[in-house]
Amino acid sequence: MIIGITGSFGSGKTAVSLLFKRFKIINVDKLYSEIFKENKKLKKTLKNKFGTIDRNKIKKIVFNNHKKLIELNKITHPLIIEEIKKIINNEKKKNNEKVSLKNKKNNIIIDAPLLLGSKAKKLVDKVIVVKCKKAVQIKRILKKKKYSKNEIIQIIKSQMPLKKKLKYADFVVDNSKSMKNTKKQVLKIMRCLI
């Protein structure tokens, strides 16, 4: 089974993904970092469109300009989806079996913030949306000292609204409380899936 885990920036998608033991986890943010490092054509395209290949500068541009964000997604999403498909196919070949919950070796989690706004949704059997109270979300991101409060709010605004994401959800995890509480919710979901 292939499960897509998504949610807003700072909601705890990756923390929830890691609770799914024995699943192969595809972290789309890390995957894109690898693609970016190795793909010279991508860097050239980004330089032409945004005037820079500095990812932090590009982030500032796109999170303040929705049209530029759409432009960036048109460039990056096909590359990311292609890589995800390769990983899924390699997992299937490696185990020479269908991806299913009964064969725990073949279960895959796709941890993707933009899962629902891209064609990657077609790759998953089930969608889990991780939600979190906005105040908790902002507090968590501020702890990392990478973004200012205004930047965080701008990034959250640039993403698909939570209400819209919830419409696609097969399951919802509220990650506003303790990790113990989140684990209980994940165990319930696991029981439903098996």
pLDDT band at 97 (very low <50, low <70, confident <90, very high): low
| Strand 2-7, strand 126-131: pairing | parallel
Of 95 and 101, the one with more pLDDT: 95
- Other Cβ atoms closer than 10 A to 194: 9
- In this predicted structure, the answer to whether residue 91 has a pLDDT above a threshold of 90 is no
pLDDT in tens, 172-192: 999 999 999 999 999 999 999
Q: Contacts for 159-164 with beta carbons within 8 Å, 24 or more apart?
A: 159/8, 159/9, 159/113, 159/114, 159/117, 160/114, 160/116, 160/117, 162/7, 162/8, 162/129, 162/131, 164/116
pLDDT band at 77 (very low <50, low <70, confident <90, very high): very high
- How does the average pLDDT of the chain come out, rounded? 90
pLDDT value at residue 104: 55
pLDDT value at residue 168: 94
pLDDT band at 22 (very low <50, low <70, confident <90, very high): confident
Distances (CA, A) of 150 to 29, 57, 132, 164: 22, 16, 18, 23
HSE-CB for 126 with a 13 A CA cutoff: 18
pLDDT in tens, 30-71: 999 999 999 999 999 999 999 999 999 999 999 889 899 999
Question: What stretches of 39-148 show up as alpha helix (H) in DSSP?
Answer: 40-50, 55-62, 66-95, 134-143
pLDDT band at 73 (very low <50, low <70, confident <90, very high): very high
Q: How far apart are CA 19 and CA 89, in angstroms?
A: 23
pLDDT value at residue 68: 95
pLDDT value at residue 162: 92
- The residues near 31 (Cβ < 8 Å, ≥ 6 apart) are 80, 83, 84
Give pTM, 2 decimals.
Answer: 0.90
pLDDT value at residue 102: 52
CB-count exposure of residue 16 (10 Å: 0-12, 13-18, 19+): buried
Return the CATH architecture of domain 2-193.
3-Layer(aba) Sandwich (3.40)
Mean pLDDT confidence for 96-124: 76
User: In the chain, what are the domain boundaries?
Assistant: 2-193
Q: How far apart are CA 40 and CA 156, in angstroms?
A: 30
